Amino acid sequence: MFNNRIGRSESLRTEVADYIRNLIATGQLKPGDRLPTERDMAENFGVSRTVIRDAVKTLAGIGLLDVKHGVGIFVATPDGSVVGQHLSQLLQYHLETLEHIYEVRILLEKAAAFWAAQRCTPEDYIKLKNLLEEAHNVDEADYPDRFAELNRNFHILVAEASQNPVVAIMTENILDMLEHTTVETHRIPGRAVRSIDEHERVLTAIIEHKAEEAKKVMEEHLSSVLETHRKEKKEKRN
């Protein structure tokens, strides 16, 4: 597992850290697993102990490793806040994880759209309409960061319009996990414009109180975003 010689680049620490992080992301290293000593890893990677020490410090700083002085280096047991903060970084290695998150997201946001169509207040309508108008007027030069923010706000507003605070909190937590991935997705030509059109369909169904239609178009929207992720990953591999 650790018999991988790291190439001579400007940032050996980053290469070592990324290699270990990938082992964790793909499940080859699990919570509680003990890593080899700094000396052994330095020999196996073909780098200095200082490089290993810096890489371990980096991963410990983001909660992936637990350094117990005098005992050893261990893969940290996941903490809810740490997972929420750093899962988006792991998604770039593991499409399966993204698929699992979207399974939950689609299930949750379908329900949110359904209830929003039944319970949405006039104030909710106005907020959603204003947000979509702003999205239509975003200058293309401001993509993807600005649109990613508006995209996030749209989904949170729909969840809030469900009048179920638990749904709203859970939706926001899932969007936090997907923050990095969402920005990258909207760098793909045409994806932002397509999302705006799909958001319009969701809003129309909500305004017309068509609960089943709102659920259906929300599922179609999120499925199309996931399919964009799949195609992008496939193109990067080829």
Domain architecture of the chain: domains with CATH:
12-77 (1.10.10.10), 83-237 (1.20.120.530)
Pair 1, 75: CB distance under 8 Å:
no
Separation CA 150–CA 39 (nearest Å): 48
The winner for highest mean pLDDT among 1-15, 30-44, 144-158 is 30-44
66: three-class secondary structure by DSSP: strand
First to last CA, the chain: 25
> At residue 146, does pLDDT exceed 90?
no
Phi-psi region at 143: left, alpha or beta (left = phi > 0; alpha = psi -120 to 50): beta
pLDDT in tens, 190-223: 888 899 999 999 999 999 999 999 999 999 999 9
Put simply, whether the predicted model's pTM sits higher than 0.85 gets the answer: no
